[in-house]
Structure 1
């Protein structure tokens, strides 16, 4: 396990030393909330503001981009070259995809949490008081899920470019169908029915229930769903990963 920990540390440092990823992880959610919150301010009330709505949905939307971070940290050319020694060293094959997920999860959770705190103080966004910890756990559960998805895409397609293209389409489709960018009811009854089955939509619905209804009945089922899906996707990545194809 010592070797695994050292690999995770190295992958985390690789992420932390990339200023563009740090800038993106901080500014992307902040700018989304600021711009869409401002543009739609007149469409919401005083109690439930546009910033309240987009503060939740766009932070969840940003968490979905953890998949891009994990794909880049897995398949970026300079990192692949640096991992040549690791691939051919006497370690377990699954250490590499597992490490990429954990490093991405640590990196993105840290900076997205900072972005959420900044948005909270600047726009007075309500993320819940008594339920704040549970809401944060749902957020990082979403973050973990998409960190796993990014690695899985790389294991399937064996290309950072193709993986990111698929991730972009998947992220945009899920965000639209989950009501992250606008209420899904605007799309019609069929899309509302589809939305009810999406884990991303379940997370957003549960968060709003905890903030405004003080109802945490769905927290544990949804949180466990995120963990189970993450575990299954991670297992799939470990099975599909082939070190020789990676390099």
Structure 2
């Protein structure tokens, strides 16, 4: 386990020392909330503002981009070269994909949390005072799920470029159908029915229920679902991972 800890530590440091990734993880959610919140400000009321809506949905949308971070930290060329020694050292095969997931989760959770705090202070976004810890847990669960998805895409397609293309399409489609960019009702009844089956949409609905209705009845089931899906995807990724193909 000491070797696994050291690999996770190294992968986390690699992420924390990349200024572009830090900038993106902080500014991407902040700018999305600021721009869309401002542009649609007149379409919402005073109690439930555009910033309240996009503060939740766009932070969830940002957590989906954890898949991009994990894919980049897994198969970016300079990182692959640095990990040659790890691949051929006497360690368990699953250490590498597992480490990428954990390091990405730590990195993105840290900076997305900071971005959410900044948005709250600047735009008075409601993240649920009494249910704040539970809401943060759901955001973190989404973050973990997509951290696992990014690694899985790399294990399936064995290419950072292809993995990121698939991830971009997946995140855009899920964001649109989940109502993260605009209310899904605008797309028609068929898309509403599709949205009702999506876990991402259900997470957003659960968060809004906790903030405005003080209803946390769906929290446990959604949080457990996110953890189970993350675990299953991570197990599949570790099974598919082949160190020789990685290099």
TM-score range, shorter chain: over 0.9
1:8-38 Cα deviation digits (max 9, x unpaired): 0000000001000000000000000000000
For 2:131, the equivalent position in structure 1 comes to 131
Aligned to 1:146: 146
Root-mean-square deviation (CA, aligned residues, Å) is: 0.3
Looking at structure 1, the residues matched to 88 and 178 of structure 2 have their Cα atoms a distance apart, in angstroms, of 42
Q: Which runs of 5+ in 1 are unaligned?
A: none
- C-alpha distance in 2 between matches for 1:73 and 1:213: 39
1:84 corresponds to: 84
Q: C-alpha displacement at 1:7, in angstroms?
A: 0.1
Deviations 1:112-151 (A, max 9, x none): 0000000000000000011000000000000000000000
**Offset at 1:159?**
0.2
Matches of 1:3 and 1:202, distance apart in 2 = 38
Secondary structure of the residue aligned to 2:91 is coil
1:170 aligned residue: 170
Give the superposition deviation at 1:154.
0.1
3-state SS, counterpart of residue 207 of structure 2? helix
3-state secondary structure, aligned to 1:164: helix
Q: In the alignment, which residue of structure 1 is the partner of 2:193?
A: 193
The aligned counterpart of 1:24 is 24
Unmatched runs of 5 consecutive residues or more in structure 2 = none
Q: Distance in 2 between matches of 1:98 and 1:198?
A: 26
Match of 1:107 in 2: 107
The 5 Å alignment of 1:1-247 reads: 1-247=1-247
Structure 1: distance between partners of 2:233 and 2:196: 21
- C-alpha distance in 2 between matches for 1:15 and 1:199: 28
Q: Scaled by the length of structure 2, what TM-score is found?
A: 1.00
Count of matched residue positions in the alignment of Structure 1 and Structure 2: 247
Deviation of 1:82 (Å): 0.4
Query: d(CA) in 2 for partners of 1:42 and 1:26?
Result: 26
